[in-house]
Amino acid sequence: MKTANSEKLFRRARNVLVGGVNSPVRSFAAVGGSPLFVSRAEGSYVYDADGNRFIDYVASWGPLILGHSHPSVVSAVGKRLPLGTSFGAPCELETDLATLIAKHFPSIEKVRLTNSGTEATMSAIRLARAVTAREHIVKFEGCYHGHSDFLLVKSGSGATTFGNPSSAGVPKSFVNRTLLARYNDIDSVKRLFEKHPRKIAGVIIEPVAGNMGVVTPEKNFLKKLRSTCKKHGAVLIFDEVITGFRLARGGAQKLFGVTPDITCLGKIIGGGLPVGAYGASAEIMQMVSPEGPMYQAGTLSGNPLAMAAGIATVKELNPRTYRRLESLTASLVSGIREITAELGIAATVNSVGSMFTVFFTDQKVTDYAGALGCDTAKYARFFRNLLQNGVMFPPSQFESVFVSTAHTKKQVDQTLQAVYASLREISEGE
């Protein structure tokens, strides 16, 4: 596979961009080799600077549930562009997207749009603290909620990928009120409430974790978390930046039938443009400026181009879409399980809706420790072999594969052929 142009671009990028990238997980540092520079993308394909074509399952880390350059999105953004890129004033499109969000998330009566998921979760924590007048927060080991200081504690995604789950540069005083629980272990949460009575403002969780790789909530775990928060007067925050509109139009809270107090969204609601959002009941949201005393702002929040892309994306989603996504994903996941069994490679595939992760381990992966215990070197080889076979999975073990509506059954079959070739090479080397 030719990579000379990407390597040349990477050398140039590293002169002026830290690590040559604007987000660490893109750097391929976790999987070896030089990152591929993408020049264009269409449907389920990305094309790199050397003209290589890949069936893409990164999907910009989740936003592109319709695949790349979907005609509806391209048309919507194209129509808005000549009307202006940003006004610093309210625009009807912001109301339109917020209305769509509130329609599909009954727990959300009022929304605030932001520019990223990080801003959404950071603001949601501030809101929980403002509402309860308490200061402690609980997060789960391995979950990643963006890079705000007090949430960079045993975080997943790139923080774990690069071995700094608790980042340098975060003062101890910023994280001494961040308490850690273990995913799928409700007793670890109860113990924190017992140890810190009436101190915990909120609990934030990825209702399906995507940032330690995919880890699904065990039966009733979310229901018990809901009742535990209610019992102790703490706010339950669902970080649905990945799962919102991914698992269902109403996200994981619809799929699992558990209603949080605050919901964070991002990715899909921006259709590939910068976006984030947090929402809750009108009563909770009235704490937010300019209605209430909790300040939060953003120059480009509700940007008309991002709104246009998000609205166009969400409007393409319907129950049939999710049935198709689930069917394609099920074919892919069952095929991968069959291949690993046939080749005698120990692997666990965690999957829900149109997101999944292949872990190389003979154990179940139900929490951060389980994810950390898998063979990340084998994942790196698997990733590189897949690239050689024309398929791009996420360049990190601690991420999720995303299937889009642009993927076809034929491409799933081609992907399984690539998986077989990639894993056979590994099994022959064992």
Q: How far apart are CA 417 and CA 310, in angstroms?
A: 34
How far from the centroid of its chain's Cα atoms is residue 65's Cα?
Answer: 12
Question: Nearest Cα to 70, choosing from 45, 105, 98?
Answer: 45
**What three-state secondary structure class fits 118?**
helix
Nearer to ligand KE4, 141 or 206 (CB): 206
Q: Which of 267, 278, 367, 420 is catalytic?
A: 267
The tokens for 58 are 């990164």
Shortest Cβ 424–ligand KE4 spacing (Å): 29
Neighbours of 168 (CB within 10 A): 6
- Is 239 considered catalytic here? yes
Shortest Cβ 23–ligand KE4 spacing (Å): 3
Neighbours of 232 (CB within 10 A): 20
Nearer to ligand KE4, 158 or 304 (CB): 158
Q: Are 56 and 387 in contact (CB under 8 A)?
A: no
Nearer to ligand KE4, 228 or 263 (CB): 263
Of all residues in this chain, which one has the CB nearest to ligand KE4 in the complex? 117
Nearer to ligand KE4, 76 or 124 (CB): 124
Shortest Cβ 151–ligand KE4 spacing (Å): 9
Q: Which of 48, 239, 261, 367 is catalytic?
A: 239
Shortest Cβ 234–ligand KE4 spacing (Å): 20
Q: Which of 45, 57, 144, 183 is catalytic?
A: 144
Q: Are 280 and 51 in contact (CB under 8 A)?
A: no
Torsion sign (Cα): 415, 421, 424, 426:
negative
* Residue ranges in contact with ligand KE4 by CB under 6 A: 23, 25, 61, 116-118, 121, 144-146, 157-158, 206, 210-211, 239, 241-242, 266, 276, 399
Nearer to ligand KE4, 232 or 267 (CB): 267
Shortest Cβ 420–ligand KE4 spacing (Å): 27
- Phi, psi for 293 (deg, rounded to 5): -85, -5
Question: Nearest Cα to 360, choosing from 334, 381, 388?
Answer: 381
Nearer to ligand KE4, 193 or 398 (CB): 398
Shortest Cβ 25–ligand KE4 spacing (Å): 5
| Edge-to-edge strand ranges of the sheet holding 355-359 | 348-352, 355-359, 401-402
- Is 144 considered catalytic here? yes
Q: How far apart are CA 76 and CA 122, in angstroms?
A: 30
Return the active site residues. 144, 239, 267
